[in-house]
Amino acid sequence: MTTYKVGYFVGSLAKESINRKLSKALVNLAPPGLSMTEIPFKDLPLYSYDYDADYPPVARDFKQAIADVDALLFVTPEYNRSIPGGLKNAIDWASRPWGQNSFTGKPSAIIGASPGAIGTALAQQSLRGVLCFCNSPLMNTIEAYIHFTPGMITDDGQVTEDATVKFLSNYMEEFHTFIVRVEKALSPND
């Protein structure tokens, strides 16, 4: 069986991030056909196209980490009804230099957790527009807006509610299916 490499971004830089807890749960619940690796971005400087002629090593490494995986998973909070600035900065780095967009043809999915009832829905809508422009085939369904409650996920990513275990496991199964489907569509002769 093929194992697909998934790079995941945690949109929050906070030490106690609930989205980091969610990412650990998703790693724990991923099906055997997915191998999960975090792609960190906190050390990237703020992007400017002045860098395009000569990307710094940290940005080259970041783009290489994306090139090395088959698919991308965005686990993000909602900040002010959009995605956190650090994540947007990372996406801008990955999308450039012009003609070397790291997202082209790279399947992706979005999930996020918030203590608020709408569970990052507006941040996800915003991110969908960005990734669509960046030409990443995006999983449309199932959507996953996680209304985080205290104790729902432990620090090491154990989910304490059966219904949430089932939902997140199914989400990762669906993502696996989507990655296979995109690969077949883009490389039908492989």
- C-alpha distances in angstroms, 18 versus 80, 120, 156, 188? 16, 12, 11, 39
Tell me whether residue 116 or residue 157 sits nearer to ligand FNR (CB atom): 116
Residue 105 vs 115, nearer CB to ligand FNR: 115
Catalog residues that contact ligand FNR under the rule CB under 6 A. 12, 14, 17-19, 77-81, 114-116
Give min distance, CB of 160 to ligand FNR, in A: 17
Write down the least CB distance from residue 73 to ligand FNR, Å.
15
Give the nearest distance from C-beta 12 to ligand FNR in angstroms.
Answer: 3
Nearer to ligand FNR, 4 or 171 (CB): 171
- Supply the minimum distance, in Å, between the C-beta of residue 25 and ligand FNR: 13
Please identify, using beta-carbon distances, which residue of 72 and 111 lies nearer to ligand FNR.
Answer: 111
